[in-house]
């Protein structure tokens, strides 16, 4: 605050100009929250210089910068060149920022046929009104969908709800051969599982409200990539006023500090997939040997001391169609019925509710931090309930009362002790009880 006259000031002035504490000489142990909408400058010259540079000033809050730089550090851990990131107020805002930065009127985008619903809405709504055309390509048809006007290929590391694994290096090769960029939504994997920039992607996008924040108490999005392309993304963010609030940024950055611990646990619990339960028709999880994307995931996904991490999302499809799927959702007790995912508590959702064309019986579980034995037992008994609700109508499920729950609980305990093959033996993993189609180009 600049010096003022020694004349005694009125109470309103004194209240408006309260003394500011000195900046501590020692660095804070925890990241501070810069809860301010703007900053004062030394004078008109500094204000003009910083505003014109678009590198600081009215568009950047230090809390948002701290979160963005944290994501950039995680996504670019093994890259030689610099990675920068921009923080957005939501995942949808981050997606919109990328699309507006990469495609303008007369241009063309290629996206997966099963692309996440909100992304499809932006492509068929806002982008279409701006004169951008989109082709929604089935797996294996990306190359055929490319046009001279294609400027962006959109991919998802793991699709929803089928958990198809994107062949990122091949998609990057197709995009770059046609002069297009590859942008990857990696919200369901996070940089703890997969870092798309290391596999040829130009941009990686996250809905930070899920796993990055990890507690379901903050909304945000983030985009990371090389400095050159991120200059355009930044310009779109500034021009559209898509600024992440400081309190949200603080919470999201704090979530990054425990991200590896949380994701490793979620991946481990998710590996206890329920393919052995008699009420289950199919299970989609790339960690299962029978999943067509398993080998692709092993090549692209990180491996820690515990082995390859395949993500914390599992899609279970029971026998019995729509009624069975909805009954399964209603019968689960530990999981919350919610669209949000990646947090401390497991969530469950009926897939066809949020993904048109999904199997009407499919149910998506996004694993939280509960004990694996409790979760698996709860879902197993919810499957029994779903079978009782629908079994008489479909005739597809044998009497769940005949199921050996003692053996099942023993299998759960063995999984927790570190032998997941007891829950889903390798010979069964390779059988027809597992489903999924690799998302090849």
The yes-or-no verdict on residue 395 having pLDDT over 60 is no
pLDDT tens digit string along 63-74?
A: 999 999 999 999
In a domain, 67, yes or no: yes
Considering the domain architecture, whether residues 219 and 267 belong to the same structural domain is answered as no
44 domain-assigned:
no
Q: Which stretches does DSSP call E strand in 14-168?
A: 83-88, 108-112, 133-137, 150-156
**In a shared domain, residues 192 and 275:** no
CA distances to 1, 9, 13, 17, 40 from 4, in Å: 9, 10, 11, 10, 16
In order of 66, 213, 222, 249, the CA distances from 87 in angstroms are: 9, 13, 4, 8
Is 277 among the domain residues? yes
218-240 tens-digit pLDDT: 999 999 999 999 999 999 999 99
Within a domain: residue 273? yes
**Residue 55: predicted pLDDT:** 56
Which of 330, 290, 325, 292 is CA-nearest to residue 396? Answer: 325
* Local structure of residue 172 (DSSP, 8 states): H
Looking up tokens 């942008």 gives 183
Structural domain contains residue 183: yes
In a domain, 293, yes or no: yes
| Span of 55-64, 67-76, 167-176, 202-211 with lowest mean pLDDT | 55-64
Q: How far apart, in Å, are the Cα atoms of 400 and each of 107, 280, 293, 396, 425? A: 55, 11, 31, 11, 20
Q: Which two tokens stand for residue 301?
A: 């996904």
Q: Containing domain of residue 89, as a range?
A: 57-257
Closest CA to 90 of 257, 247, 266, 218: 218
Q: Which of 232, 257, 282 is the last residue of a domain?
A: 257
Q: Is the peptide bond before 161 cis (omega within 30 degrees of 0)?
A: yes
277 shares its domain with 359: yes
Same domain, 113 and 251: yes
Residue that is last in its domain, among 207, 236, 257: 257
Q: Whose CA is closest to 83, among 223, 184, 226, 248?
A: 226
Task: Give the separation between CA 213 and CA 216, rounded to whole angstroms.
Answer: 7
**Residue 275 confidence (pLDDT):** 67
Q: Are residues 304 and 279 in the same domain?
A: yes
**In terms of domains, do 252 and 270 share one?**
no
CB of 87 closer than 8 Å to CB of 249: yes
For residues 237 and 272, state if they share a domain: no
Judge if 230 and 310 occupy the same domain.
no
Within 13 Å of residue 89, how many CA atoms lie on the same side as its CB? 10
253 and 265 fall within a common domain: no
Mean pLDDT of 408-434: 39
User: Per-residue pLDDT for 438 more than 50?
Assistant: no
Q: What is the reported pLDDT for 392?
A: 42
Mean pLDDT for 83-111 is: 97
Q: What is the pTM of this model?
A: 0.86
Same domain, 241 and 349: no
Residue 11 located in a structural domain? no
Number of domains in the chain: 2
pLDDT in tens, 271-312: 876 667 889 999 999 999 989 899 999 999 999 888 899 999
Domain boundary among 257, 279, 306: 257
Q: Give a yes or no: residue 45 inside a domain.
A: no
What pLDDT score does 331 carry?
Answer: 96
Number of neighbours of residue 7 by Cβ within 10 angstroms: 5
Phi-psi region of 327 (alpha: psi -120 to 50; beta: other; left: phi over 0): alpha
- Residue with structure tokens 């590198």? 55
Beta carbons of 134 and 124 less than 8 angstroms apart: yes
pLDDT score recorded for residue 415 = 47
State the average pLDDT for the chain: 86
Give the CATH number, domain containing residue 127: 3.40.640.10
If asked whether residues 164 and 247 sit together in one domain, one would say yes
Q: Please state whether beta strands 336-337 and 133-137 pair in parallel, antiparallel, or not at all (unpaired).
A: unpaired
Instruction: Give the count of beta carbons closer than 10 Å to the beta carbon of residue 125.
Output: 10
Looking at residue 331, which CATH number applies to its domain? 3.90.1150.10
Are residues 206 and 294 located together in one domain of the fold? no
Distance CA 184, CA 194 (A): 11
Backbone angles phi, psi at 423, to 5 degrees: -75, -45
The burial class, CB within 10 Å (0-12 / 13-18 / 19+), for 28 is: exposed
Mean pLDDT value of segment 94-106: 96
**Nearest Cα to Cα of residue 72 among 234, 204, 242, 243:** 204
The CA distance from 283 to 362, in Å, is 9
């Amino acid at each position: 605050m600049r010096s003022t006259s020694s004349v005694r000031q009125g109470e309103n002035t004194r209240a408006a100009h309260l003394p500011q504490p000195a900046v501590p000489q020692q660095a804070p142990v925890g990241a501070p929250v810069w809860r301010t909408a703007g900053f004062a400058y030394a004078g008109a010259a500094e204000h003009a210089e910083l505003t014109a540079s678009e590198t600081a000033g009215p568009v950047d809050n230090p809390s948002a910068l701290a979160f963005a730089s944290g994501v950039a550090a995680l996504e670019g851990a093994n890259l030689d060149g610099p990675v920068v990131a921009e923080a957005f107020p939501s995942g949808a805002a981050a997606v919109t920022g990328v699309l507006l930065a990469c495609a303008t009127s007369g241009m063309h985008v290629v996206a997966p046929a099963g692309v996440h619903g909100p992304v499809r809405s932006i492509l068929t709504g806002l982008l279409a009104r701006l004169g951008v055309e989109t082709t929604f390509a089935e797996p294996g048809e990306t190359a055929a969908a490319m046009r001279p006007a294609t400027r962006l290929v959109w991919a998802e590391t793991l699709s929803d709800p089928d958990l198809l694994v994107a062949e990122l290096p091949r998609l990057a090769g197709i995009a770059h051969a046609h002069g297009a960029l590859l942008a990857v939504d990696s919200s369901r994997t996070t940089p703890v599982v997969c870092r798309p920039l290391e596999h040829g992607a130009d941009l990686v996008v996250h809905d930070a409200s899920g796993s990055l924040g990890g507690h379901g108490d903050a909304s945000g999005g983030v985009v990371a990539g090389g400095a050159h392309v991120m200059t355009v993304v930044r310009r779109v963010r500034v021009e559209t006023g898509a600024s992440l609030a400081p309190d949200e940024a603080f919470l999201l950055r704090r979530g990054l500090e425990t991200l590896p611990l949380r994701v490793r646990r979620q991946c481990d619990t998710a590996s206890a997939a329920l393919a052995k339960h008699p009420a289950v028709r199919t299970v989609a999880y790339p960690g299962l040997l029978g999943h067509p994307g398993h080998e692709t995931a092993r090549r692209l996904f990180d491996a820690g001391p515990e082995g390859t991490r395949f993500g914390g999302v599992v899609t279970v499809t029971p026998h019995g169609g729509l009624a069975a799927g909805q009954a399964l959702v209603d019968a689960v007790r530990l999981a919350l019925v919610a669209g949000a995912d990646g947090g401390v508590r497991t969530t469950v959702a009926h897939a066809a509710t949020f993904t048109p064309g999904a199997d009407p019986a499919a149910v998506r579980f996004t694993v939280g931090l509960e004990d694996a034995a409790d979760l698996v037992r709860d879902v197993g008994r919810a499957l029994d309930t779903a079978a009782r609700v629908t079994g008489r109508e479909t005739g597809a499920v044998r009497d769940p009362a005949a199921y050996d729950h003692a053996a099942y609980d023993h299998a759960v305990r063995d999984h927790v002790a570190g032998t997941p093959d007891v829950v889903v033996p390798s010979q069964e993993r390779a059988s027809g009880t597992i489903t999924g189609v690799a998302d090849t180009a």
